[in-house]
């Protein structure tokens, strides 16, 4: 397969939830897609559906992004075959459980996917992005980036990394053709199980719940308007930014503890 002359958007974590919403939104804008997700998540079917529905060219790559070598192999495959003008680093891993009782692999996977895969894939695809006349990077962080919280512990730290990394890289690339945006949504109604789990947190959880299709649509719109940071939960954002840590940390920890119980 020779390198395509067309331009493509790369989306990680594309098989479900927000990633799938991003894929549908971009296909609706007639953008060709490279979809990435874990094996066994019906990614070939999604690629075919988008191809038929929107008439765009779609390709897919199934891999575990928690493994550094897999990220490097994915980047090499993309660079060899596609011209990339948009990278959506959506793949992410979280969860709520006691840090003491969490398996080491659970902690490692969160760090590897949220931190290593996001930064390394961006690094490896950046020369490709810079070859195009105008390119974008959209990184998915979280409202959790604005506060630590017990029973999540590692997850907020990794999402704070994504937010800081994105803002820093955008500043570094300000005179280039690549614009970097970070979006910090709250929890999303990606399934009934997730919605029920978040609602156990009480009013704090319900306040942050969003529809993934709306998140994808608004994120893409504002990214193309060159907004460096996108906040979609203004009330939650104000609460997390204006409330002193000594108040919000125990409050958030109690809310998450209800989800774990």
Kindly name the residue from 60, 61, 151, 155 that is annotated as catalytic.
Answer: 155
CA atoms of 113 and 85, how far apart (whole Å): 22
The backbone torsions φ and ψ at residue 137, rounded to the nearest 5 degrees and listed phi first, read: -125, 125
Both tokens assigned to 103: 């398996």
CA atoms of 62 and 102, how far apart (whole Å): 27
CA atoms within 13 A on the CB side of 233: 25
Both tokens assigned to 238: 């104000």
Alpha helices in the chain (DSSP H): 17-28, 43-54, 68-81, 104-111, 118-131, 154-172, 192-199, 203-208, 212-224, 234-242, 245-260
The residue among 190, 188, 166 whose CA lies nearest residue 178 is 166
Backbone dihedral region of 96: left (phi > 0), alpha (psi from -120 to 50 degrees) or beta?
A: beta
What does the CA dihedral 54, 78, 134, 8 come to, rounded to 10 degrees? -10
**What residues have CB less than 8 Å from 126, skipping those under 6 apart?**
178
CA atoms of 93 and 245, how far apart (whole Å): 25
In the annotation, is 136 catalytic? no
Catalytic residues: 155
């Amino acid at each position: 397969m020779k390198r395509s002359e067309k331009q493509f958007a790369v989306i990680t974590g594309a098989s479900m939830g927000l990633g799938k919403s991003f894929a549908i939104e971009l296909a609706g804008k007639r953008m060709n897609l490279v979809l990435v997700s874990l094996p066994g998540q019906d990614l070939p079917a999604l690629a075919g559906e988008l191809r038929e529905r929107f008439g765009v060219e779609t390709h897919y790559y199934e891999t575990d992004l928690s493994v550094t070598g897999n990220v490097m192999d994915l980047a090499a495959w993309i660079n060899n075959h596609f011209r990339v003008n948009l990278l959506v680093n959506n793949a992410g891993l979280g969860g709520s459980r006691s840090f003491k009782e969490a398996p080491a692999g659970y902690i490692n996977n969160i760090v590897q996917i949220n931190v290593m895969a996001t930064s390394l894939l961006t690094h490896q695809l950046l020369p490709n992005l810079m070859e195009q006349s105008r390119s974008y990077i959209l990184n998915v962080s979280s409202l959790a980036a604005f506060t630590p919280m017990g029973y999540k512990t590692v997850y907020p730290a990794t999402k704070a990394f994504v937010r800081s990394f994105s803002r820093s890289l955008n500043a570094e690339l300000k005179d280039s053709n690549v614009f970097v945006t970070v979006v910090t949504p709250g929890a999303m109604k990606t399934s009934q199980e997730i919605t029920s789990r978040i609602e156990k947190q009480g009013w704090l959880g319900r306040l942050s719940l969003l529809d993934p299709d709306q998140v994808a649509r608004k994120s893409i719109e504002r990214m193309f308007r060159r907004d460096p940071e996108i906040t979609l939960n203004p009330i939650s954002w104000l609460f997390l930014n204006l409330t002193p840590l000594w108040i919000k940390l125990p409050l958030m920890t109690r809310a998450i503890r209800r989800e774990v119980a």
